[in-house]
Amino acid sequence: MTDIAAEYYEQLAAVCQMYLPTSSREHIHKAYVFARQAHEGQTRASGEPYITHPLTVARYIAELYLDETSIIAAILHDVVEDTPVSAEAVEECFGKDVRHLVAGVTHLAGVNQLEDIANFFNSAASDVRVVLIKLFDRLHNLQTLEHLPPYKQRAKALETMRIYVPLAAKLGIWNLKTELETLIFTFIDPASYEFICLGIENSAAIHEPRLQVIANNIQKLLRNKGIPSAIRIKRRSPYSVYQSAAKNALESHNFSRAFRLIIQVDSIAQCYLALGYIHQHYSHLGGSLADFIGNPKDTFYRSLHTTIFVPDYSPVDIRIRTYELDRLSEFGIVARLQFSNGEEVKQLKDATWLPELTKLYSESETVNRFIDTIFHDVLEKQITVFTPRGKEITLPRGSTALDFAYHVHTHIGHECRGAVVNGKPTHLYCELSDGDHVEIIRGRQNDGPLFEWMDDTLGYATTDRAKRKIREWFKRQETRLLIRRGQEVLREERHRLNVDVTSHTLTRDFQLEDVKTLNILIGGGMLPINEVALALLRHVSDLFARSDTPYSQVVDCRGQVGLLKGVNGREVRLASCCHPEVDSDVIAHERNGRVIAHRSTCPRVIQVKKIENLIKMEWVKLNEVPSVVYILLEAYNQGSLIRDLSIPIAEIGVSIVEMDMLNTDRNLILRLKLELTNEQQLISVIHRLALLQNVISVRRLTFEEAKNWRKNLSFYEENRSVG
């Protein structure tokens, strides 16, 4: 009878023999015997002995040439969780390091999933090998996922996409990230996966021979310039193609861009020389040049990017890097760990964010906040910005100037009152872009944060670090000051939203002990003003009215139902030539009194000579048909006022459908009729407008007040000071 477990172990031993000394291999064999005895009688969903799983994970670790401790921990990673073996027994036989690694990947008994994830990240903070074992554990689980029920397959796939794919990317292990994404793709959208794989294969037969000719020509060009090189054709992964394909337009995707040339040279200087010679010989696509050697996009990826035009052929994407940088770009932190011992691993400085997790874990108020911070601040894609002295600061994509200030130093964040980005003054909720140079304008020493910064609808702070530091500052204030501030904020919010709800009612809504507690929570920012506003609006029965904007209901070629904004009340029809689908980018062509919606890429649209006959169309979801609400706004009559009002309203996704205005002796009073879809948009609009420089006050109007707003201005003047 075949000993399956022994076969799996022999595969592992063969890899270990290639680089580990005899003593290390003996320790690994001891771990195999220990784990096999512990898992005796256990089987996987596939029917194979359970020991085959940890042995496979250990082989993956060994194939990366990692140390014996990593391999032993991989073999033992499930013994504490799934067998009677204790953590103490593991330490007694294999040492403290192995115990720590095993504990880091072990699911804790009696805790929920969030606490389990928090334990994993907290353990990973002190040893990156915890992450590697967990990643390859998940890889093998995905490889054998077909043996689980469909609902478990999808749940595991989505969990992997949310946690482990960005984690692999953060560590720069792009080959593992790609493999995980590909496996996930087969379970979450198998039809698209098959379609793309077929498209890449069919396209390869056409494009790879031509690309090889181009590669040979470039290699010859560089050789003549004294730069020896190696060039390979690399296919993009199916999931990468899927991400770049236009939404709902996969069938029309051009697979010629599913291939790129990777050029390897001996030195960084030769990378730049090679780029220059290639650009001398071939024209290149504007905006395609990116220097991720001089300005790295993350800790490990280093490469020059360009896209060249080759006569009588499609654009060709090119990556240029050294042999060492190519290995680093593919394997990330693993390239630093290979052939390292345990102490060198612990002193590894490339993943500086890992040790910070311990501090983050201790500072987080709850497990939920710790996990939120991990997902948003740590695993989110990053941008690199610069201080005035040129120091690099890495922030999550979507970070603002205020986030930058708090990242530099807590006191700078508290005292921050303005920002200069790339030499231009800007507001603190300005979203930063990769490569920005940021200077912070500070107020007086010992100034504190502004209360508005805690309002999520305004978008001042997006990182958990900044939000946490702001909350902590307000918590430290005296109770009487918090109560007074809470009363002021609540009074102002009632006025802006035009809602007469007592504090006692809100106290019951939030199930709090008394009004004092309500005011303390609001004043200290522990009860976000956005939640207070939503609670107030729930007491308004006639908040919105149905919009009178005409919509046309259409059914596309797939049977999907959608709504398109009508044109002058006329019906809109979908074109039969290009078959636009719901949510695709469409443009309407008005001809002979009919309005026909085409795909924006349809040749019939492109050939239209009278641009004024083309109308940009917008899709509206069936469950998000806009409603109408009115607001009244008073402002100083400045030349740019209307523009300043329109920008934040448009950014929130709200439309101004009507505007009435009245000039008084000093100011301008406007009644705005807005189209929006939910209470959150109304709150965001009012909060954003209230912060504009020339706005004096802003307030929601009831529909009765909106009809008679000019007559009621005297009442408005009497009550304006409340806001």
pLDDT in tens, 326-369: 998 888 888 877 655 555 555 455 556 666 676 666 666 666 66
Report whether 189 contacts 161 (CB < 8 A). no
Closest CA relative to residue 74, chosen from 148, 155, 137, 8: 137
The pLDDT value recorded for residue 57 is: 95
pLDDT tens per residue, range 124-183: 777 888 889 999 999 999 999 888 888 888 888 888 888 888 888 888 888 899 999 999
Write the secondary structure of 233-273 as one string of H (helix), E (strand) and C (coil).
EEECCHHHHHHHCCCCCHHHCCHHHHEEEEEEECCHHHHHH
Residue 242 φ then ψ, to 5°: -60, -40
Question: Residue 585, by phi and psi: left (phi above 0), alpha (psi -120 to 50) or beta?
Answer: beta
Write the secondary structure of 592-626 as one string of H (helix), E (strand) and C (coil).
CCEEEEEECCCHHHHCCCCHHHEEECCEECHHHCC
Report d(CA 459, CA 403) in Å as an integer.
10
Tell me, rounded to whole angstroms, the distance of Cα 680 from its chain centroid: 22
Q: How far is CA 402 from CA 340, 384, 409, in A?
A: 40, 15, 11
**Number of residues in the chain:** 723
Q: Do domains 4-144 and 206-339 have the same CATH topology?
A: no
Please give the CATH number for the structural domain made up of 380-462.
3.10.20.30
The pLDDT value recorded for residue 721 is: 44
Q: What is the mean pLDDT of residues 238-266?
A: 77
- Residues forming beta bridges with residue 431, ordered by sequence position: 400
Report d(CA 559, CA 33) in Å as an integer.
59
Among all residues, which ones are annotated catalytic?
A: 81-82
pLDDT tens per residue, range 23-36: 999 999 999 999 99
Report whether 133 contacts 73 (CB < 8 A). yes
How big is the CA angle at 570 (ends 568 and 573), to the nearest 5 degrees?
Answer: 130
Report d(CA 348, CA 171) in Å as an integer.
12
Q: For the chain, give the mean pLDDT.
A: 84
Residue 657 φ then ψ, to 5°: -100, -15
CB-count burial class (<10 Å; 0-12, 13-18, 19+) for 50: buried
The pLDDT value recorded for residue 588 is: 80
The pLDDT value recorded for residue 694 is: 86
Please give the CATH number for the structural domain made up of 627-721.
3.30.70.260
For domain 206-339, the CATH architecture is 2-Layer Sandwich (3.30)
* DSSP 8-state code for residue 230: E
The pLDDT value recorded for residue 305 is: 94
Percent of all residues in the chain with a pLDDT value above 90, rounded to a whole number:
39
Write down the domain spans for the chain: 4-144, 206-339, 380-462, 474-538, 551-620, 627-721
pLDDT tens per residue, range 585-595: 788 877 776 78
**With 90 as the cut, is the pLDDT of residue 221 above it?**
yes
Q: DSSP 3-state helix, strand, coil percentages of the chain (rounded to 5)? A: 50, 20, 30
Cβ atoms within 10 A of the Cβ of 271, count? 24
Residue 335, SS3 per DSSP: helix
Q: Give domain 4-144's CATH number out of 1.20.1430.10, 1.20.1250.20, 3.10.105.10, 1.10.3210.10.
A: 1.10.3210.10
pLDDT tens per residue, range 490-522: 999 999 999 999 999 999 999 999 999 999 998
Report d(CA 697, CA 674) in Å as an integer.
17
